[in-house]
Structure 1
């Protein structure tokens, strides 16, 4: 029997148990079961009313609940929108109904707008759970990859990256430089909100969210590029790269990520996005990393075509499910 407790706060011991469960599941499945945003919320907490944690423990028939965490779910809450959730079950406790119990808990706790659940990768377990609940895909996030460093089979990989040249329209008005911690935060939050106004996760990042990421071990301002409007000092676009020390399921050594590329709507169709993307990719290539990866909405065909033109190909996908 599964017991699920729902709360808006986690104790330090509960947070540690969730992080340990997520790490074990990631090692077992070969891909992380929880997004970076969820892991940050586990570590740092959430604003009142902004999210809910669901903690699953196992209670044997006629026995006492051991309190050992066997599953976890997280639901981010936005007014007038369906909850956006994800869940994970400990590798040794699967196929015992814990995933279904967490899904029921998420559904019963969701607002009238409903619930949507992310699955990271089209894994057998995620597809089976969604199918058993009668859920269907409502959104897809493509995972794309590009080889940066040659090997015996692709000796020239990475060598063909074009020079990141600004068009005349952009070059006369902008200069690309690295992010300045302590000076650029407010301008970047404004630029990110403008660039991703229609993107529910990325566009809602706050100054607090940025500070949390700046405090992560992986943060490196030398890999965070911004295009500054020389007339106003505003950030016209940016390319934030990230290095995954664990290889992100691609290699047994660090790999790079096109973490976020954004361009202010007023600067679109100037070639600024392509130039910024190339600046970041060349930075990752110069670090000697073997791969670059990225995530992009499969419906964003313009972005998919851009990345394909640079040498990226689809590797896997994250899938968002919802009830019919």
Structure 2
């Protein structure tokens, strides 16, 4: 019989066990599970609204699945990872974890829940439907090879930590005022990102016009199984991590120029392929990226529901722990 532990705080051993599961899923799937927001919440031990759910089975020293609830800007965010060796049990593991996660949200006052799924299958859609969730958003991952045929015609400079934080935060939050994940950042959230091992201020390109920050292109490099300091980066993937133009400077073609500036930077460091994420409903952005040579590589879907408020304690353990 499976045992489910529900943790509001993650200690070093918990983090190590979950990280090992994430590593196994990454080796099997070729991509890292958990979004940056959820992963940082995990490794920090869990912020307000956090719950980590670990599923165990007798005879296994590792968790067979992990789910997490974290608080987003205007909703609870849920993600689910099943160990590759136990995915044949997805039809039972999935509902157990999802039901427990929704109970956690109910006990915390209820509200909107977003479950992000990479390349959703029939099993995911069935699980979502059974839980009363519907697909609300679709996110494309788009890719292209480098270098590009066109190059940026604007001059950008690297981000300067400390000196540029406030200006960046203002532009980011203005540009993403209606965006659930990227809007509403705080300086603490931003500075936490700057502490990540992948952060590179030189790959964070800033463009100023009329004495103001007009746009930025923040890039990120995914090192594919080798030393990040190695000179050969051909197998790495460069990501346009966050890109925006201040609303006051819309209509001047800066979206394309900032994208090209980021791609030029990645190509100059020997990276042969780039990716980015864009909401499928944002037709203008999708069309712009297609004009710049990007094609859809994969799809993420957000399944959503509204959970009622049901105060009351949630057990720390379910099943025979």
TM-score normalized with structure 2 length: 0.83
The aligned residue for residue 141 of structure 2 is 143
- Cα shift at 1:78: 4.6
- Cα shift at 1:294: 0.5
Q: Which runs of 4+ in 1 moved over 6 A?
A: none
Structure 1 residue 238 and structure 2 residue 216: aligned? yes
The aligned residue for residue 55 of structure 1 is 54
- Cα shift at 1:52: 2.3
- Cα shift at 1:229: 4.0
Q: Distance in 1 between matches of 2:72 and 2:197?
A: 29
The aligned residue for residue 257 of structure 1 is 239
- Cα shift at 1:74: 1.4
Aligned residues: 294
Structure 1 residue 23 and structure 2 residue 17: aligned? no
Name whichever of 13-22 and 118-127 sits farther off.
Answer: 118-127
The aligned residue for residue 102 of structure 2 is 107
Instruction: Identify if the C-alpha distance between structure 1 residues 31 and 252 changes in structure 2 by more than 3 Å, giving closer, same or farther.
Output: farther
- Provide structure 1 residue ranges, at least 5 long, that are not aligned to the other structure: 149-157, 167-174
Instruction: Identify if the C-alpha distance between structure 1 residues 209 and 244 changes in structure 2 by more than 3 Å, giving closer, same or farther.
Output: same
Q: Deviations over 1:156-203 (max 9, x none)?
A: xx351x23235xxxxxxxx63210123112221222111111111111
Q: Distance in 2 between matches of 1:100 and 1:142?
A: 26
Secondary structure, counterpart of 2:27 in structure 1: helix
Task: Report the RMSD for the aligned CA atoms in angstroms.
Answer: 2.4
Which among 57, 65, 75 is matched to residue 71 of structure 1?
A: 65
Structure 1 residue 318 and structure 2 residue 300: aligned? yes
Q: Distance in 2 between matches of 1:252 and 1:21?
A: 28
Secondary structure, counterpart of 1:189 in structure 2: helix
Secondary structure, counterpart of 1:203 in structure 2: coil
Q: Distance in 2 between matches of 1:11 and 1:46?
A: 9
Instruction: Identify if the C-alpha distance between structure 1 residues 85 and 193 changes in structure 2 by more than 3 Å, giving closer, same or farther.
Output: same
Which among 179, 182, 186 is matched to residue 206 of structure 1?
A: 186
Is contact 2:234-2:272 (8 Å) kept? Answer: no
Q: RCO higher in 1 or 2 (8 Å CA, sep ≥ 6)?
A: 2
Instruction: Identify if the C-alpha distance between structure 1 residues 177 and 84 changes in structure 2 by more than 3 Å, giving closer, same or farther.
Output: same
Instruction: Identify if the C-alpha distance between structure 1 residues 140 and 51 changes in structure 2 by more than 3 Å, giving closer, same or farther.
Output: same
The aligned residue for residue 152 of structure 2 is 164
